[in-house]
Amino acid sequence: ADNGYKLWLEYNKVGNPQLAVAYRQQLSYVIFPAASDRLKAAKFELLTGLDEMLTLKPVDAKSITNGQTIIIGTPQLLKSFSIAVPDSIGGEGYLIKTTLIGQKKCILIAANSDVGVIYGVFNFLKLIQINQSISKLNISDHPRMMYRVLDHWDNLNRTVERGYAGSSIWNWHKLPGVIDQRYIDYARANASVGINGSVVNNVNADALILSPQYLLKVQALANVFRTYGIKIYLSVKFSSPVELGGLKTADPLDPAVKKWWADKADEIYSYIPDFGGFLVKANSEGQPGPQSYGRTHADGANMLADALEPHHGIVMWRAFVYDNKVPDDRFKQAYNEFKPLDGKFKDNVIVQVKNGPIDFQPREPFHPLFGAMPNTPLMMEFQLTQEYLGFSTHLVYEAPLFAECLQSDTYTHGKGSTVARVIKGDFNKKLITGMAGVANIGADLNWCGHPFAQANWYAFGRTAWNSDQSPAVIADDWLRMTFTDDENFVSPVKKFMLQSRENTVNYMAPLGLHHIMGVSTHYGPGPWVDNAGRPDWNATYYHKADSSGIGFDRTGTGSNALAQYAPEVKARWESLQTCPDEYLLWFHHLSWTYKMSSGRSLWDELVYHYYAGAESVKQMSRTWEKMEGKIDAERFSEVKQLMQVQLNEAITWRDACVLYFQTFSKMPIETTYPKSQHP
């Protein structure tokens, strides 16, 4: 067994013999004139997939044999067959359909571009991977967002910031001379879910990445990615003109600085003609930025945008900013700094906003910037690497987290203005659009550290392509492609995947608690942390537990962060009658005896969630035990062991938090709740 190296491109043998016969018959002949690198890659993938799943080597043909041929390409390449592809599917969309060409029935995969053909081929292979019929196909699909990008927080020395799957997959030392097969497999996996961009280095950037030596290495990666329709991007350090260029300043309005970046951009494009652009973390957590020179984020971003614009590159400028010197609620800082800049960014700048206002916590309300900057493109930033979700030890399927945020209604453009619609540019068609996922990939044999962490990479790609796809469908596809289509495996495992994120919220930070993890490692509980060096790193700053109660008052009587949301959202979360339990302690400080909608006291409710969370991990591992023999022994055993660790740690979280908070509530720990009442 490959221990998960092949990800969801496992291409398992089709088990059902009738189905396999039907597939083979319909795919006996292939018409696929593949001239470009991209088309060659697509053809290779098709032939590999068919061979592995069906032991089938279709015959290369020039004409259609009725009912037995698959024909693939762009209208141009398939000229003699007069294929029509609608413009509406754009440059990246594709069609997969059963059709008649010259009275002969065949399967057609067509697209306007070679990349579209790649996506079409991967999605066709998926149909076989999940054992669907291919006799009456009528699929037309296209991405709803332009930039679907993985952000690697990989350092040049191959450590990975918040990476839990081994060292960086980029072997900078051996590049550009050695192209590891991994780079190709990485690109295949991304293309299979529609990811079309990769930022290869950490946002806490090293200026060295822009040196000629490194640009040669970056070029080598770009050459691999290009074949699969993936553009390469770099994180840049704002002070690069000083550190690398020897200038005295990095002031974005200084002519010498502007020239330095313009020249640098020209140089980059001489190596990589389709270079994607820059990702920038500025004036955040000690990183340099325009504010160091009395300039704004817009000044900084626009200066870089000017340098990239002649080459059609973009700037992804992060809104993750906070500062212990700003005395107010950290929740509010990004909005305070960015909202006034709405409409001031150049067209090729996209502001990248984390899903929530603090920092990838197990549960956050949506970031108040979504919808609040109608004239500025906003790019969603999700975190696939589980910095606050148990690293690569805990099984947490994140698609429900993505969906929760994306389906939240901002009300900024009336009822139904969901976060998803805001970032898709539904309310301003002029804007560029995108979604980023902080990668969870490393050099581990299985890429992501936990076999189930692969599902978060997969789900990110699927969600960025179309945010309306349900987490359940994505999980179902992923399980069948990655493990087996045995219903007795897929259905129970899918069930616990879908619950896994809520379970983790329960044993880590229920009822709207946040930022109560161990200081700096961000692993394990640390609600007691109150000497982290600055107040907004202390857990006590966020939970504010004392003898009178617990929670952060962000209503009008407190920090009033709620005023950053549309009036409807503010009203809903401000009122105790309508604020959902999930967000309660994000916005309210309540007494320990406060009566919850369940009838329990707040204290009892908290204890109840912590116990239910730990209990759910026990249930999950019992379910997993029953899966023995349904999949390969290696992955079965690895997951089994990981679940034991997760259970121990869930218990640690539960006990640490409950006992710590009990020192304030001074109330008894009631743990005997009927199972039926478990949240």
Chain residues in the site for ligand GCW (CB under 6 A)? 153, 161-162, 203-204, 281, 285, 320, 359-360, 387
Do 614 and 655 meet the contact criterion of CB atoms below 8 Å apart? no
Nearer to ligand GCW, 162 or 344 (CB): 162
Residue from 51, 267, 285, 670 carrying the catalytic annotation: 285
Q: CB nearest ligand GCW: which residue? A: 359
Cis omega (within 30 of 0) for bond into 176: yes
Residue 249 φ then ψ, to 5°? -145, 160
DSSP track, 542-608: HH--BTTBB----STTTT-GGGGS-HHHHHHHHSTTTS-GGGHHHH--B-TTPBPTTSSBHHHHHHH
Residue 325 φ then ψ, to 5°? -85, -20
Nearer to ligand GCW, 285 or 670 (CB): 285
- The nearest distance, CB 157 to ligand GCW, in angstroms, is 15
To which H or E segment does residue 106 belong?
A: strand 104-110
285 noted as active-site residue: yes
Nearer to ligand GCW, 529 or 643 (CB): 529
Nearest-angstrom CA–CA distance, 288 and 315: 16
To which H or E segment does residue 436 belong?
A: strand 434-438
Nearer to ligand GCW, 364 or 605 (CB): 364
Residue from 323, 359, 485, 582 carrying the catalytic annotation: 359
Q: What is the three-state SS of 616-676? A: HHHHHHHHHHCCCCCCCHHHHHHHHHHHHHHHHHHHHHHHHHHHHHHHHHCCCCCCCCCHH
- The nearest distance, CB 118 to ligand GCW, in angstroms, is 31
To which H or E segment does residue 46 belong?
A: helix 37-54
Nearest-angstrom CA–CA distance, 252 and 232: 24
Count the helices and strands in the chain (H runs, E runs): 19, 14
Nearer to ligand GCW, 354 or 543 (CB): 354
Nearer to ligand GCW, 451 or 526 (CB): 526
Kindly tell me the burial class for residue 234, based on how many C-beta atoms sit within 10 Å of its own C-beta (0-12, 13-18, 19 or more).
buried
Do 126 and 118 meet the contact criterion of CB atoms below 8 Å apart? no
Residue 81 φ then ψ, to 5°? -100, 0
DSSP classification of residue 518: P
- The nearest distance, CB 335 to ligand GCW, in angstroms, is 17
Nearest-angstrom CA–CA distance, 570 and 608: 28
Classify 174 in phi/psi space as left (phi over 0), alpha (psi -120 to 50) or beta: alpha
Nearer to ligand GCW, 320 or 496 (CB): 320
To which H or E segment does residue 101 belong?
A: strand 94-101
Nearer to ligand GCW, 204 or 407 (CB): 204
CB atoms within 10 A of CB 58: 21
Nearest by Cα to 388 from 525, 496, 261: 525
Nearer to ligand GCW, 144 or 394 (CB): 394
Place of tokens 């999980």: 475
- The nearest distance, CB 420 to ligand GCW, in angstroms, is 22
- The nearest distance, CB 333 to ligand GCW, in angstroms, is 14
| Contacts of residue 376, Cβ cutoff 8 Å, sequence gap at least 6 | 338, 341, 342, 343, 344, 345, 349, 351, 431
Nearer to ligand GCW, 161 or 254 (CB): 161
90, HSE (Cβ side, Cα atoms, 13 Å): 9
Nearest-angstrom CA–CA distance, 280 and 275: 15
Strand partners, 383: 438
Residues assigned a catalytic role: 285, 359, 387
